[in-house]
Amino acid sequence: MSQPLLEVRGVSIRFGGVEALKKVSMSVHAGEVVALCGDNGAGKSTLIKIISGVYQPDEGQVFFDGEPLDIRDPQDARAKGIETIYQDLALADNLDVGSNIFLGREPVTRRFGFNVIDRPRMAGVAQDVLDQLDIVIPARKIHGPVKMLSGGQRQAIAIGRAIYWNARVLIMDEPTAALGVPEQRKVMELIVSLKKEGVAVILISHNLHDIFSVSDRIFVLRRGEAVGERRVSEVDGDAVVKMMVGDEYAATRAVA
């Protein structure tokens, strides 16, 4: 296969006495969706926080397009085209849609000799992003704080922001956990269309149905260690749960 767009090699990190990741390697190609699975505390969020510049690994290295990636903070990662959507930190509640799309990267215009934030442009882009994603939000809500929107609309705006900024790698930590069924379906559809456009997607989810519906590969972590990687066509839910919890526990766990 071609060179991965993003590759993690031999990454370890420790928090005090906890070895959250032990020599973990994984990769994702352009146009591929990789599901990152594992039980609670397996190290999934920690791994994506290393990729998105929140944590520095104690050992190991992240590569982007074959080159070592030096990311000191999340702004560095974003500048490279690595966008991360965290479940709870997805949007700034009190700001409108446009402000959320531009958060920290607001366009500026000159008015009366001063630099001011170009709000009309932000509102225009917000509408374009929503149209592109086929999301209908009444105008008065587009201009109000996003906390007035539904979970699915908020998640879609976070995805829209990543698209607007030309994400090459999109990382999503439990994007559908808080959503209703139609909203979950919308987010899954958005993932499929990003994949078609060549975006590399890393999806963390506990929902095996979602994982099997959109992923190409499944990568499993257990207590900080990589325990396996499978093409979705080669496994079923039982096999994934066994990898997540270990053979000895699998028999006692419910399978989704």
Ligand X SMILES: Nc1ncnc2c1ncn2[C@@H]1O[C@H](COP(=O)(O)OP(=O)(O)OP(=O)(O)O)[C@@H](O)[C@H]1O
- 45 scored as a contact of Mg ion (CB under 5 A): yes
- 20 scored as a contact of ligand X (CB under 6 A): yes
The answer to whether 19 and 224 have CB atoms below 8 angstroms apart is yes
- 53 scored as a contact of ligand X (CB under 6 A): no
The answer to whether 229 and 26 have CB atoms below 8 angstroms apart is yes
Among 11, 22, 28, 43, binds ligand X (CB under 6 A): 43
Give the per-residue contact string, 165-204, with Mg ion (x = CB under 5 A; - = no).
----------------------------------------
What is the Cα–Cα distance from 65 to 202, expressed in whole angstroms? 16
Closer CB to ligand X, 45 or 153, in the complex: 45
Give the per-residue contact string, 162-191, with ligand X (x = CB under 6 A; - = no).
------------------------------
Give the per-residue contact string, 1-40, with Mg ion (x = CB under 5 A; - = no).
----------------------------------------
What is the Cα–Cα distance from 164 to 151, expressed in whole angstroms? 20
Within residues 102-141, the interface with ligand X by CB under 6 A covers: none
Residue 171: burial class (beta carbons within 10 Å; 0-12, 13-18, 19+): buried
Closer CB to ligand X, 17 or 182, in the complex: 17
In this structure, what is the dihedral angle of CA atoms 215, 216, 219, 220, given to the nearest 10 degrees?
Answer: 50
Taking the complex as a whole, the smallest distance from the CB of residue 44 to ligand X amounts, in Å, to 3
What is the Cα–Cα distance from 25 to 61, expressed in whole angstroms? 9
The answer to whether 81 and 166 have CB atoms below 8 angstroms apart is yes
Closer CB to Mg ion, 163 or 203, in the complex: 203
What is the Cα–Cα distance from 162 to 201, expressed in whole angstroms? 11
Q: What are the residues binding ligand X (CB under 6 A)?
A: 15, 18, 20, 38, 40-46
Q: What are the residues binding Mg ion (CB under 5 A)?
A: 45
